[in-house]
Amino acid sequence: MLQRDWRLLWLFFCILFVVHALGAPIISSEQLHQKYNVDYLFKYKYLNEMPTINDIDQIITGLKKFQEDVGLPVTGEMTKQTRDLMDRPRCGMTDMNDKSRRTKRFVPHHSKWRKRTLIWRLDDPYELLTDYDRFVVRTTLHRAFNEWSEASQKALQFKENENSTGIAHINIFFAHGDHNDSLPFDGMAGVVAHGFYPTNGNLHFDAAEHWTLHMDNGINLFQTAVHEIGHLLGLEHSTDYNAVMFPINRPYDPMFRLGDDDIRGIRYLYAPWAWTACNILIDTWENLICIMLLRHCFFYLNVNLVERKAPDVHKVVELDENFVATIFHLHVFD
């Protein structure tokens, strides 16, 4: 009898071992999602698809990506620092994770504006703004747009359309919850705003937030507007904590300004000379000298006009929109 009991006990432990080896869940799916904040990782594209209970390795990989992008120790564990950052108010646009494009901290989107003067308008489709609100918001938006105009060295200009009709490349409004753009707001904290990439031109603020200026409490309207306008112009989220395009909101900063990473990003997209084949300067009667800025590299072209001979072709550089520039005597100064 005793021998039989030992056999049954041995069989029980064998079955238990096999079940565990096959990956039987030791916690529920709901517990797993809560432990690793899976919904957050999926929402902001650190996970390509909603994982199952058996995809723990995929979840940990996504968590590590998040920790890397926000500058935390990459542990794959839901540390207090990690949870605290996830709980902070933030932009509603996703955090792109195509590492092949992260040769720079700033990440340019695949689209940008072809116009250099953009017209914006503050709308109020849900009738949420008083006259005073409109005045304060419009004044703040003028300041925010000017930050990017200055950073682009005036390559970008912004004008307001104060009327409810007429041309507006950029439309801005406040809304609650679902507002017909597939990205509903979630109430106070959480997602505070989102600005869509060119040439969509829509920027929405969550009306449920406590919007403030020049004070520590609430969500700073100016700082948020500058961030979202960066998206409107074609910049994705940056992994540089000091960049305005960092995805997570920071407290009010009286010394707030665009970071070096933001400036590099906007000039990459809208460098003043990037839209002209070259700035022609006459050095002597015998030479035509052109200087061109292309992707932050200076190219020096020297073409002899006296002999009227076709110069040798040293390099062909293909630009956006299939524009091809032939470069002679290539010298890179950057």
> Which sequence positions are flagged as catalytic?
228
- How many Cβ atoms sit within 10 Å of the Cβ of residue 157? 14
Contact residues for 226 (Cβ-Cβ < 8 A; gap 6+): 144, 147, 148, 244, 256, 258
Contacts 24+ apart (CB under 8 A), 16-25: 23/54, 25/53, 25/54
Ligand-binding annotation for 68, yes or no, is no
**Tell me, what amino acid is at 185?**
F
Alpha-carbon distance of 4 to 25, in angstroms, equals 31
Ligand-binding annotation for 329, yes or no, is no
Ligand-binding annotation for 231, yes or no, is yes
Alpha-carbon distance of 101 to 238, in angstroms, equals 12
Ligand-binding annotation for 33, yes or no, is no
Alpha-carbon distance of 131 to 136, in angstroms, equals 9
Alpha-carbon distance of 206 to 131, in angstroms, equals 18
Alpha-carbon distance of 90 to 322, in angstroms, equals 37
**What angle, 0 to 180 degrees and rounded to 10, lies between the N-to-C axes of helices 80-87 and 56-69?**
70
Ligand-binding annotation for 262, yes or no, is no
Ligand-binding annotation for 209, yes or no, is yes
Ligand-binding annotation for 109, yes or no, is no
- How many Cβ atoms sit within 10 Å of the Cβ of residue 58? 16
Contacts 24+ apart (CB under 8 A), 179-187: 179/126, 179/204, 183/92, 185/92
Asked whether the beta carbons of 243 and 261 are under 8 A apart, the reply is yes
SS3 60: helix
Ligand-binding annotation for 204, yes or no, is yes
SS3 77: coil
Alpha-carbon distance of 235 to 93, in angstroms, equals 11
Alpha-carbon distance of 69 to 87, in angstroms, equals 16
Annotated binding site for Ca(2+): 131, 186-187, 206, 209
Known binding site: residues? 91, 131, 179, 181, 186-187, 194, 204, 206, 209, 227, 231, 237, 245
Annotated binding site for Zn(2+): 91, 179, 181, 194, 204, 227, 231, 237, 245
